[in-house]
Amino acid sequence: PFFFNDTATTEIYTLSLHDALPISTAERIKTMETRITKLLGIKYPIFQGGMAWIAESTLAAAVSNAGGVGIIAGGSAPIDYLRDQIRRAKSLTDKPFGVNIMLMSPNAEDLAQLVIDEKVPMITTGAGNPGKFMEAWNNAGIKVIPVVPSVALAKRMERSGASAVIAEGTESGGHIGENTTMCLVPQVVDAVSIPVIAAGGIADGRGIAASFMLGAEGVQVGTRFLAAEECQIHPTYKQLVVDAKDTDSIVTGRTTGHPCRNVKTKFSKKLASGEMNGTITPDEFEQITLGSLRKAVQDGNLEEGSFLCGAIAGMVKKVQPAKEIVEEMFAEAEKLLNR
Ligand code: TUI
């Protein structure tokens, strides 16, 4: 069909070529439709990570309006703050958005009830096993998509009624598990029949395409959205991410049992070396880092702030609107996947 130079003829033949393909293939050529886009009624299978202290209604609504899923972080926020944020997001977008419940939060119980009361359509969970809340959330019709660092937890979550799981590799920013995205994602895909979303080290279309090759049906992205125009973090924080190179992330908190990936700064390097040589005990570490996330996000405090970021920060080169980030990433992925 492509031998003809006549435009009209080519068009007819091109159409008939598509018509001749099985429907699923023809559709896949045009869209990034997966069980995740169908489950949530979204255009692109991308979640913006529920980053504590960072992911609020402005950013979440921007990502949802771009066709992905924006997620408001519950973190350890007061219940009134999170309720306000949920209502604000509802006023900024008519598209689906979610809330992340950080299970180590002293407020987790209250926030778990709030998402029911506010009729939030979907939630993600992190930093623990949400088992004890699953029944209430399922009864409320909330789609629950937990972050899992292992195959074992993925299987348990499937049994407890999770709609999907996010397999998050140690490349991620913030609180991390041990296994890498490349190793964890295909093993989780093999172990469960619910859809799997890949997270950790994904910041461009190549990351999406690679995740799909591993069997994922969606991605969760945090670090690249730190550099979204709509992201409300202190300008110093954004600049640290944009300036970071490949070797500029460091893990602190290993001695406390809660490892956390950060931008390398004088502060985070001092913490990591203090833990290594024993001059900072786990108790002292907890003392020094208490409130350090707020100091980074709100004050851009380089002396005492923890600037969480993923190992992919080196790839983030500029500040852009969230919509441009989403569209750029999927245009590249679609090309690579021949869709
Ligand atoms: O949760 C995250 N990333 C985070 S949470 C956070 S705030 C924080 N502040 C102080 C200490 C700790 C956290 C900053 N970044 N990502 C999702 C994630 N979940 N990563 C690892 C896990 C995880 C770990 C263990 C999920 C489940 C789990 O289960 C253990 C169990 O009980 O089975």
> Mind listing the pLDDT tens digit for each residue in 184-193?
999 999 999 9
| Mean pLDDT rounded to a whole number for the chain | 92
Instruction: Kindly give the distance from the C-alpha atom of residue 128 to the centroid of ligand 1, in angstroms, as a whole number.
Output: 6
The pair of structure tokens assigned to 57 is: 């209604």
- Give the mutation target among 100, 102, 286, 309 for probing the ligand 1 site: most ligand atoms within 8 A of CB: 102
The pair of structure tokens assigned to 129 is: 């096993």
Instruction: Kindly give the distance from the C-alpha atom of residue 29 to the centroid of ligand 1, in angstroms, as a whole number.
Output: 36
Is 154's pLDDT higher than 50? yes
Please name the residue that has the structure tokens 């709609």: 163
What length is written for the chain?
A: 339
Q: How far apart are the two ends of the chain, measured CA to CA in Å?
A: 20
Over residues 213-235, mean pLDDT? 98
Over residues 213-224, mean pLDDT? 98
3-class DSSP state of 267: helix
Over residues 135-144, mean pLDDT? 98
Single out the residue of 41, 33, 34 nearest to residue 195, CA to CA.
34
- pLDDT at position 3, please? 33
Could you identify the atom of ligand 1 that is nearest to the CA of residue 76?
Answer: 7
Which positions ≥6 away from 164 have C-beta within 8 Å?
A: 35, 36, 39, 143, 145, 194, 195, 196, 197, 217, 218
Question: Above pLDDT 90, what percent of the chain?
Answer: 90
Written as one string, the DSSP assignment of 194-224 is S-EEEESS--SHHHHHHHHHTT-SEEEE-HH
Instruction: Kindly give the distance from the C-alpha atom of residue 47 to the centroid of ligand 1, in angstroms, as a whole number.
Output: 17
The pair of structure tokens assigned to 205 is: 């279309």
Q: Is the pTM of this model over 0.85?
A: yes
Q: Is the CB of 258 under 6 A from ligand 1?
A: yes
